Amino acid sequence: MLQTRQTVTELPGSDRRISWIAGRSFLRHNLFEVAESLPDAKRKSALGLLVRKWSPFPATGFSAQWVGNKASVYAWDAAQIASALAAAGVDATRATIWPETFFRPAQADGPVLAAMSDGVEGQVWRRGLLVATRWWPEAPPARDWMLFLRGAGVDISQTSTAVPAPVQGELLTVPWTVATTPITDVWSLLQNNQAAAIAAAVIAAPFLYFLTQAAVLSVATWRAESAIAGMSAANQSVRTDRSAALTNLDTAESYLTVDSMPSQFELLAAAADLIKGRRVNISDWTYDSGNLDLVLQAATPMEAAFYIESFERDEHFSNVTGSLANQEKELRLKMQVDRKIWPAS
């Protein structure tokens, strides 16, 4: 069953468990990260707490794509979906709710504009993870597309900023996230005959692999320990050279004063002036070879586009990009620092 803003469409195929696909316009998206030390069985519980803290809905349902300890999450108003299920005569206990995006083909890394049943969705993929999305009822204006790319941390100097043509993709028979579903979620997938075969293969493959690799791993561990012992003695000269280099640091810095790049004090003052009065703090600062990375933190969600445009307008900075994290209360900005233009002699 596919739910759009206009209607509910019954799709071909029948299984013991109904897949209810919520159209993109009903969904909110965000990227979350849980502690790497958490076992798989506890990651979903930890993610649930983060999603409910961020979600604007009184009652929230959600589905996630996992890559390592990062989760690309679509959330929906659980009460609204439950009402639609009842209106369609569907038993909620026999239905699994899915975001429409998970039933559209996954894309290659980079930005893309994907066609949806009730509009289009801007997507940014990075290392197989859907890191940022935005929905529009129709193809967005160029300015909105540009701001979306900047807010997703896309390097626009390396990417075309023209609004692309929407990618058309047929609805899949099962969600492409089946292969990344944690083992704790496999039971709901087994209700679907096609997903069961995929899930069985996904579960069995790691066990077969590790059984065949156990002997190789033990030998590799012994070799690694021997190599580490040898490296400890071999790199003694490297540590000695490093100590000698550090003693010449003052001399090196005196030569750097002739560089045409602005000083860190000048850049910090400019950044502080741009966020003045916004109740935002700079929590991290990295300046190297004309590239500046900084992290802004606030007690409430921030608007990435405002800060990106503010830094872009300043004479010190260019090619500004940013990405939100921590329920939109943390903004990581990356930018280039422009060289000083000295007056002609």
The reported pTM is 0.59
110-116 β-sheet, strand order = 110-116, 119-126, 129-136
Q: Tell me what the pLDDT averaged over the chain comes to.
A: 83
218: Cβ contacts below 8 Å, ≥ 6 apart: none
The confidence score (pLDDT) of residue 18 equals 87
Domain boundaries, the chain: 1-103, 106-166, 185-234, 264-337
Give me the phi and psi of 5, to 5 degrees please.
-70, -20
* Separation of alpha carbons 136 and 157, rounded Å: 24
The confidence score (pLDDT) of residue 77 equals 96
The confidence score (pLDDT) of residue 161 equals 85
The confidence score (pLDDT) of residue 256 equals 47
Strand ranges for the chain from DSSP E: 2-3, 8-9, 18-22, 27-33, 60-67, 70-77, 95-99, 110-116, 119-126, 129-136, 280-288, 291-298, 317-325, 330-337
Three-class SS state of 91: coil
Domain at 264-337: CATH code: 3.30.1360.100
**Residue numbers in the chain where pLDDT is lower than 50:** 183-196, 199, 256, 344-345
Task: For residue 257, give both structure tokens.
Answer: 């004063």
Is residue 291 within 8 Å of 334, Cβ to Cβ? yes
pLDDT in tens, 253-280: 555 455 577 888 889 999 999 999 989 9
Task: For residue 103, give both structure tokens.
Answer: 């039933």
Cα 188–chain centre separation: 25
Which of 192, 193, 198, 175 has its CA nearest to residue 72? Answer: 175
DSSP assignments along 308-326, one per residue: HHHHHHSTTEEEEEEEEET
